Each structure stands twice: as C-alpha cells, then as structure tokens.
Structure 1
Amino acid sequence: MKIKMITVGKLKEKYLKDGIAEYQKRLGRFCKLEMVEILDEKTPDKASDSENQSIMEKEASRILRKISDREFVIALAIEGEQFPSEKFSRILENITVKGYSDITFIIGGSLGLAPSVKKRANLLMSFGKLTLPHQLMKLVLIEQIYRSFMIQQGSPYHK
C-alpha cells in the first residue's frame, strides 16, 4: 500500500518535523509513505473574497497535478465527516478491500481547499470544528494513520 500526504505550504518548525519523522519511520513497516509539499500562495492582508478564491484555485491546480485517477483521495475539510479512530481504521482497511492500493490525503493551506479539490476527493474528513494550523494537522494526521494500522493489528498502542 502507498499513502501520499499532499500539504500546502512548507513545514518549518523543527518540533513538527521531528514528530512527523518519527511517525514516518514507524509507518515504514506498514506502507510506503510519500510526503508532497505544494507551494502556498501568499495571501495579502484583508484580501477580498475573489482574491482568496483565486489563491485557492492556484493551490488547487498544483494539488490536482499530483493526483492520478487511480488514487483514493481523502481531503481534510471542516465540513467533512468525523470518525473515531476505530472507524477511521476500518475505512482505510475497506479502501484497500475495494481495490485501491494508493490512498492520498490532502491538507489545504490557510484558506482551506478549493471546491475543485473537494469535488475530486472520494471522502471529505474532518478532525472537528477547531481550527488548527495546517502544519500541526500534518502531524496529527500522520499519527492517526499510524494508529489506524496499530488498531488493525490489535496492538495495545491504541489504548
């Protein structure tokens, strides 16, 4: 199985890089993990709605170029479904049963994801109503992917 994480913006904070690197290492026995960072557009202060839409569409174009037709795409969006870790684990397991070997997660930038990216997604997923920095969300997501594999194995890690 191959898992790809597409994120808008470059990760800068060392503590987040260290945490992500730890989970990348742990995930090595379960899947091939690819991390793709997409250049984020600079958002001017007090940008208009049309400027924000234009920024999101530019980022969307970069994101969509990194996705093939055969990938199962899960986009993180505040309006997406929320799952307990156990259900998330079953969802990932069922995706592979349905014949997908490539799962791609997308985390948008500070403005979120353009409608074109959400439309391409097979599933919209939310981690709740809280607003989190997209760089931190990358660490939270990778930990939950690892937790999912540990649940599938019946490991006590999950408890």
Structure 2
Amino acid sequence: MKFHVVCIGKLKESYLREGVAEFIKRMRPYGGITITELNESKIGDKPSDAERKQVVKEEGQRLLKVVPKSAYTVLLDVYGKTMSSETMASMISKLEVDGISDMAFIIGGAFGVSDELRQSVKYKLSFSPMTFTHQMVRLLLVEQIYRSVKINRNEPYHW
C-alpha cells in the first residue's frame, strides 16, 4: 500500500517536523508515505464568515485535485468516526486484499473543510472528539499509519 497525506499548510514547529520526518523514515521499508503540502489560502486577520467559507471551499477544491485518482480517500474530520489502531490496521489490510494500492488521507486547513470535500471522500476519520491543530493531526496520522503497518505484519512496535 502506498500512503499519501495531502494537506493544507507547512509544519511550522520543529518538533512536529522532526516527528513526521521520523515516521516517514520508518515507513520507507513498508512502501512509504508521500506528503503533499498545499499553501494556505491568503486571508486577512479578521475574516468574515463569508471569507472563511470561501477559503474552505477553495482549499477543498485544491486538495481534491492533487489526490491520486485511484486512491481510497480518507478525510481527517472532526465529524468523522473514531476507530482504534487495530481497526485502522484491519481497514488497511482489507483494502489491500480488495486490490486497493493507494490510500490518501486529507487534512484541511485551519478553518476546516467544505461539505463538498466531505461528500467526495470514501471515509471520514476523527482521532478524537477533542480538537487538535491540523498540524498536530499530521504527526498523529503518520504515527498511526506506521502503527497499522506494524500491526498488520505482526511486528513489534516501539517508539
């Protein structure tokens, strides 16, 4: 399985960049993770609701354009379903058995994601009912992808 993370914005904090880089390195023997970062849309300091909605819509359209067409799409979404690490591993395993070779995880920007984007994906995943920054979610996601691969191979996992 080839994993793709498509997201808005660059990681600003060094500890997040280092953590993501570590899991990308760990994933190399298992097919790897490709991360595609798209620029955040330009918006003023005090945007109106209409301006925020426009940014969310535009970012959603740009995200969808770069997702591999054959990929099983998963949106990281506060309104999505939660799952255990073992359930995520099982989901990935089933997709592989079904002949899916690409899985794309989509992370929206600071203002969230559009309904259009929500409706276009195959699965909506929430890590928690708590709110995390979209940058922190990226680190959590790559760690969970790595953990899923290790679970599916019955290999030990140690951080």
Q: TM-score, normalised by structure 2?
A: 0.93
Q: Could you tell me which residue of structure 2 aligns to residue 154 of structure 1?
A: 154
Letter in 1 for 2:130: L
Letter in 1 for 2:89: S
In the TM superposition, 1:69-84 aligns within 5 A as 69-84=69-84
Q: Could you tell me which residue of structure 2 aligns to residue 52 of structure 1?
A: 52
Q: CA deviation at 1:91?
A: 0.6
Q: Could you tell me which residue of structure 2 aligns to residue 104 of structure 1?
A: 104
Provide the C-alpha distance between the structure 2 equivalents of 1:110 and 1:83, rounded to a whole number of angstroms: 23
**Number of residue pairs matched by the alignment:** 159
Tell whether 2:113 aligns with 1:88.
no
Provide the C-alpha distance between the structure 1 equivalents of 2:127 and 2:14, rounded to a whole number of angstroms: 23
Provide the C-alpha distance between the structure 2 equivalents of 1:139 and 1:157, rounded to a whole number of angstroms: 17
Provide the C-alpha distance between the structure 1 equivalents of 2:23 and 2:126, rounded to a whole number of angstroms: 20
Provide the C-alpha distance between the structure 1 equivalents of 2:26 and 2:89, rounded to a whole number of angstroms: 16
Provide the C-alpha distance between the structure 2 equivalents of 1:15 and 1:69, rounded to a whole number of angstroms: 32
Tell whether 2:49 aligns with 1:42.
no
Q: CA deviation at 1:57?
A: 1.0
Q: CA deviation at 1:155?
A: 2.4
- The superposition leaves residues 49-77 of structure 1 with CA deviations (integer Å, 9 ceiling, x where unpaired) of 22111001111121011024311000000
The answer to which of 48-57 and 141-150 deviates more is 48-57
Structure 2, unpaired ranges of 5+: none
- The superposition leaves residues 87-114 of structure 1 with CA deviations (integer Å, 9 ceiling, x where unpaired) of 0110111112222101000011111111
The answer to which of 76-85 and 94-103 deviates more is 94-103
Runs of 4+ in 1 over 2 A off after TM superposition: 42-49
Letter in 1 for 2:71: E
Q: Is the 8 A contact 2:68 2:104 kept in 1?
A: no
Provide the C-alpha distance between the structure 1 equivalents of 2:24 and 2:69, rounded to a whole number of angstroms: 25
* SS of residue matched to 1:54: helix
RMSD: 1.6
Q: Could you tell me which residue of structure 1 aligns to residue 3 of structure 2?
A: 3
Q: Could you tell me which residue of structure 1 aligns to residue 130 of structure 2?
A: 130
- The superposition leaves residues 105-145 of structure 1 with CA deviations (integer Å, 9 ceiling, x where unpaired) of 00111111111211111000000111111111100100000
**Identical amino acids, percent of aligned pairs:** 35
The answer to which of 66-75 and 142-151 deviates more is 66-75
* SS of residue matched to 2:75: strand
Q: Is the 8 A contact 2:16 2:139 kept in 1?
A: yes
* SS of residue matched to 1:35: strand
Provide the C-alpha distance between the structure 2 equivalents of 1:154 and 1:99, rounded to a whole number of angstroms: 21
